């Protein structure tokens, strides 16, 4: 059966259509509010960069389920690999009765991860689990307690990773108490602080020395491109200076590549754009073409510090998810999807790169590969404009385009399209967003 969908947008009804409206009512009666309230259009299937809702509308997906379906929805090779694996072996716990897929994924991760040294991986189910395990590994290896993350960081929703997430984030409210020994430190945010990478790093390092001290720090977690924080790309030189500081002080440098990694930004990992080799990398989201899988990959000596049974879990590196990941890696290489992300970046710059000049409500457009942010401001200022963001999201969704929100100030329109999105769909989606921006001035 061929479920593929033509890659153009066709809206057949008002959004949300009647089937979505009916589902929304059932959802309100049965699903926890904690599961989120962003959209009320219900999806039936997807293909490439297009989603099809339960009323038959085709929507342009600029979100990929928050950065997951980087290679496109329902990739046929991934589906076939998962289906075949599901008829052979759906589960056995790797630590008890191991299987080859797990080993093959770890081998592939070692191959694509920067660094001319031996690497090992442990596989888990979600990004937050990967970050949690990376924290444990870093503490075990260094014998130190303190974990640093950056202002505006997002590392997950488990108790530990929520605590590592930027403190003013409203979703944290009332969820504590949170564990201690976790500190947020200032990041380089060129749009707001205007500092060079070196100046910003000096500020970060000074903050650490003054308020925390370097001796007890086990690891410094960074998103090389902050996703939920609002597509924050630190100035050149920032991460190099932070890495040098980490090396001088015996601190592990951990790149959280859960959102920006695995071919999304025109490289396997976004840290590659900064020329820095991390000690540990966490990946998830796009790694298995939509199946749940995540990984911690690091220097062998760091990863080997952990005792058997100290990391992982029942479903980690499941045979079906790992089969999907292996197929995803193959698709990325065969179809040159790293190059495709670079194509998407060029097409986005060409189409939306002048929006800050064109619309007073746009403060900045920034991005890398298929990861863009449009910062909305009160006209003539750098003040965040959450109302404008709400209006743009509403207009886009009502017109069959699904972007995301982001930003600690709720003022960044985030675009995480699939790297297989066509120029035509980019143009169509941009036209819809432009309509909303033009209304705002």
Ligand X SMILES: Cc1ncc(COP(=O)(O)O)c(C=O)c1O
The footprint of ligand X (CB under 6 A) covers 66, 126-128, 131, 154-156, 223, 227-228, 256, 258-259, 284
Q: Which is nearer to ligand X, 101 or 126 (CB)?
A: 126
Tokens 């951990």 correspond to what residue? 254
Min separation Cβ 433 and ligand X, Å: 22
Shortest distance, CB of residue 172 to ligand X, whole angstroms?
Answer: 14
In the structure encoding, which two tokens stand for residue 281, read together? 């990398």
Nearer to ligand X (CB atom), residue 160 or residue 214: 160
Residue 403 has which token pair?
């972007």
Host H or E run for residue 365: strand 362-368
Residues 68 and 286: beta-carbon distance below 8 Å: yes
Question: What is the nearest approach in angstroms of ligand X to the Cβ of residue 83?
Answer: 23
CB of 9 or CB of 155, closer to ligand X: 155
Cis preceding-peptide flag for 70 (omega within 30 of 0): no
φ/ψ of residue 296, rounded to 5: -115, 120
Nearer to ligand X, 367 or 400 (CB): 367
Task: Choose between 251 and 284: whose C-beta lies nearer to ligand X.
Answer: 284
Residue 140, preceding peptide bond in cis (omega within 30° of 0): no
| Other Cβ atoms within 10 Å of 301 Cβ, number | 12
Nearest CB to ligand X, comparing residues 257 and 345: 257
Give the separation between CA 364 and CA 356, rounded to whole angstroms: 5
DSSP state of 421: -
Cβ-based nearer residue to ligand X, 289 or 400: 289
Nearest distance in Å: CB 407, ligand X: 13
Going from the C-alpha of 212 to that of each of 176, 216, 235, 287, the distances in angstroms are: 22, 8, 24, 35
Residue closer to ligand X (CB basis): 254 or 331: 254
Distance in Å, CB of 256 to ligand X, minimum? 5
Residue nearest to ligand X (CB): 127
With beta carbons less than 8 A apart as the criterion, state whether 122 and 295 touch: yes
State in angstroms the smallest separation of the CB of 79 from ligand X.
21
Q: Which is nearer to ligand X, 52 or 232 (CB)?
A: 232
106: its two tokens: 């770890």
With CA atoms as reference, report the closest residue to 417 among 135, 427, 409.
427
Q: How far is the CB of 227 from ligand X (least distance, A)?
A: 5
Please report how close the Cβ of residue 165 comes to ligand X at its closest, in angstroms.
9
- The residue whose two tokens read 């500092």 is 195
Strand-pair category, 146-150 with 217-222: parallel
In the numeric block, which tokens belong to residue 204? Answer: 């970060």
CB of 116: closest distance to ligand X in angstroms? 26
State how far the Cα of 229 lies from the Cα of 136, in Å rounded to an integer: 24
From residue 187, alpha-carbon distances to 152, 259, 356 in Å are 8, 18, 23
């Amino acid at each position: 059966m061929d479920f593929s969908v033509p890659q153009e947008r066709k809206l057949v009804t008002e959004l949300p259509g009647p089937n979505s409206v009916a589902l929304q009512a059932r959802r309100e009666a049965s699903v926890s509010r904690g599961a989120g309230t962003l959209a009320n259009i219900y999806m039936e299937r997807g293909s490439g960069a297009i989603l099809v809702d339960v009323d038959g509308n085709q929507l342009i997906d600029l979100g990929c389920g928050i950065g997951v379906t980087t290679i496109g929805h329902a990739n046929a090779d991934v589906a076939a690999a998962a289906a075949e694996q599901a008829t052979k072996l759906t589960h056995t716990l790797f630590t008890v009765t191991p299987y080859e897929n797990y080993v093959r994924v770890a081998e592939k991760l070692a191959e694509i991860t920067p660094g001319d040294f031996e690497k090992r991986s442990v596989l888990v189910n979600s990004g937050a689990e990967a970050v949690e395990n990376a924290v444990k590994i870093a503490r075990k290896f260094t014998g130190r307690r303190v974990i640093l993350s950056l202002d505006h960081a997002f590392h997950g929703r488990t108790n530990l990773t929520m605590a590592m997430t930027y403190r003013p984030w409203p979703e944290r409210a009332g969820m504590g108490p949170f564990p201690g020994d976790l500190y947020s430190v200032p990041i380089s945010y060129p749009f707001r602080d205007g500092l060079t990478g070196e100046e910003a790093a000096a500020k970060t390092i000074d903050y650490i020395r003054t308020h925390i001290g370097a001796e007890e720090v086990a690891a410094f977690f960074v998103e090389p491109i902050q996703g939920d924080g609002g597509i924050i790309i630190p100035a050149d030189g920032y991460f190099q200076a932070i890495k040098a500081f980490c090396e001088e002080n015996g601190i592990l440098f951990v790149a959280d590549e859960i959102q920006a990694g695995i071919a999304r930004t025109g490289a396997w990992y976004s840290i590659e754009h900064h020329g820095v080799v991390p000690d540990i990398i966490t990946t998830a989201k796009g790694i298995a073409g939509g199946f749940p899988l995540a990984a911690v990959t690091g220097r062998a000596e760091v990863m080997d510090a952990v005792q058997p049974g100290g990391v992982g879990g029942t479903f980690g590196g499941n045979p079906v998810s790992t089969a999907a990941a292996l197929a995803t890696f193959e698709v990325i290489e065969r179809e040159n999807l790293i190059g495709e992300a670079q194509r998407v970046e060029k097409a986005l710059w060409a189409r939306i790169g002048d929006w800050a000049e064109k619309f007073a409500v746009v403060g900045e457009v920034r991005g890398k590969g298929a990861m863009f942010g449009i910062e909305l401001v009160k006209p003539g200022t750098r003040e965040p404009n959450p109302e404008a963001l709400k209006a743009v999201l509403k207009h886009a969704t009502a017109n069959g385009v699904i972007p995301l929100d982001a930003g600690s100030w709720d003022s960044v329109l985030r675009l995480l399209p699939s790297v297989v999105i066509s120029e035509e769909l980019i143009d169509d989606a941009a036209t819809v967003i432009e309509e909303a921006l033009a209304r705002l001035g």
